Amino acid sequence: MIDWISNTFDNLQLALYESVVQPLVFGLGFGNLLEDAFDATRWLLLGLMQIAFILVGVRVLERRWPAEPVTDPAAVRTDVVYTLIHRLGLVRLAMFFAIEPLWDSMSGALRLAGLSTWQLDGLWPGVTDIGWVSLLLYLIVFDFVGYWLHRAQHQFNWWWALHSLHHSQRQMTMWSDNRNHLLDDVLMGTAFALLARFIGVEPGQFVAITVITQLHESLQHANARISFGAVGERLLVSPRFHRLHHSIGIGHESGGRGTLGGHNFGVLLPLWDVLFRTSNFDNRFDPTGVRDQLPDEGGRDYGRGFWRQQGLGLVRLVTSYRKTT
């Protein structure tokens, strides 16, 4: 069964490459990048499959158990643009061309110095070299690092100036996961790409980690009144658990009104929030957004369209820097 799925996917990738990607690459005059374009086709195909899953699977949950009525469809359409940019591989492609040459040169220098690269799944020979065990190990490591990076986005004023765009969506839906500032994406993408190379994640494993994480993030951002129950909520991040992370006054504030911090930073596992005391398991579905968006709190404008949101993010970044100098 697994071989059949793998072979089917490989055949689809080849068909998409030969019929669409290869002619496009030739037409743009980048014939020297055909091998890289074939790899990029994998991300494109996986992105198309994820979008199909969102449309067919997650949408059913939103319609069956909505957390709130959709009153601002234009804001949701902007989030669709973000999703298409990310899930169709454009950000990953940029990370590939930015990080791969740098890391290859660094790896070459290490090998010349007699130092070999490290393989995390080689820690326990005979166990961690089993495919699913290795993948699970890497997922846990990525989730742990993701938890702390996410906390950092909420801790430093300059980083929150960018990340607050993600929280500014007052109409959170299954499309809201990728609503991020592009510079924020570059920082996070670079961190995870370097982490993958540092601990020896194989390309196929990196693809699987990314797809698993992204699909679950689409689910947890869904406009759905769904909880996994008293036990399940502590095993896997649910839409209810993550919605609290986006709740005004809860998700991005700690220790006082307007103080950066928050709760429920876990990406896949609530375990880290429990261990480091940032969890909130209240059974509630609050309005989402950032406090300073509220009319009586200043009514800050985070922008309506994609480019407006990106520009205002840079303005907030510069402003936060000036306040610290």
In this predicted model, what pLDDT tens digit does every residue of 232-262 receive, in sequence order?
A: 999 999 999 999 999 998 888 876 676 788 9
| Inside any domain, residue 19 | no
- pTM: predicted TM-score of the whole model, two decimal places: 0.87
Say which DSSP state 175 is in: T
Per-residue tokens: 293: 């968006």
Residue-level pLDDT at 69: 94
C-alpha closest to that of 264 among 293, 249, 243, 285? 243
Q: Measured between alpha carbons, how far is residue 226 from residues 61, 93, 190, 292 in Å?
A: 8, 34, 33, 28
| Inside any domain, residue 109 | yes
Per-residue tokens: 135: 């993948």
Contact predicate 265/147, CB 8 Å: yes
| Inside any domain, residue 8 | no
Residue-level pLDDT at 241: 96
| Inside any domain, residue 218 | yes
208 alpha-carbon distance from chain centroid: 13
| Contacts (Cβ under 8 Å, ≥6 apart) of 249 | 257, 291
Residue-level pLDDT at 267: 93
Q: Measured between alpha carbons, how far is residue 278 from residues 10, 51, 254, 266, 317 in Å?
A: 42, 31, 9, 9, 26
| Inside any domain, residue 34 | no
Residue-level pLDDT at 98: 60
Contact predicate 21/40, CB 8 Å: yes
| Contacts (Cβ under 8 Å, ≥6 apart) of 23 | none
| Inside any domain, residue 147 | yes
Task: Give, to the nearest 10 degrees, the angle between helix 90-112 and helix 34-53.
Answer: 130
| Contacts (Cβ under 8 Å, ≥6 apart) of 155 | 260, 261
Which segments in the chain show pLDDT lower than 50? none
How wide is the angle at C-alpha 80 spanned by C-alphas 144 and 24, nearest 5°?
Answer: 95
| Inside any domain, residue 7 | no
Number of domain units in the chain = 1
- Residue 280 lies in domain: 71-323
Residue-level pLDDT at 82: 95
Residue-level pLDDT at 5: 64
| Inside any domain, residue 5 | no
Distance in angstroms (rounded) separating the CA atoms of residues 233 and 271: 10
Residue-level pLDDT at 149: 97
Residue-level pLDDT at 269: 96
C-alpha closest to that of 141 among 155, 123, 127, 114? 123
Task: Give, to the nearest 10 degrees, the angle between helix 182-198 and helix 131-155.
Answer: 140
- The 10 Å CB-count burial string (b at 16+, else e) for 87-107 is bbbbbbbebbeebeeebeeee
Residue-level pLDDT at 227: 93
Residue-level pLDDT at 314: 96
Distance in angstroms (rounded) separating the CA atoms of residues 72 and 169: 10
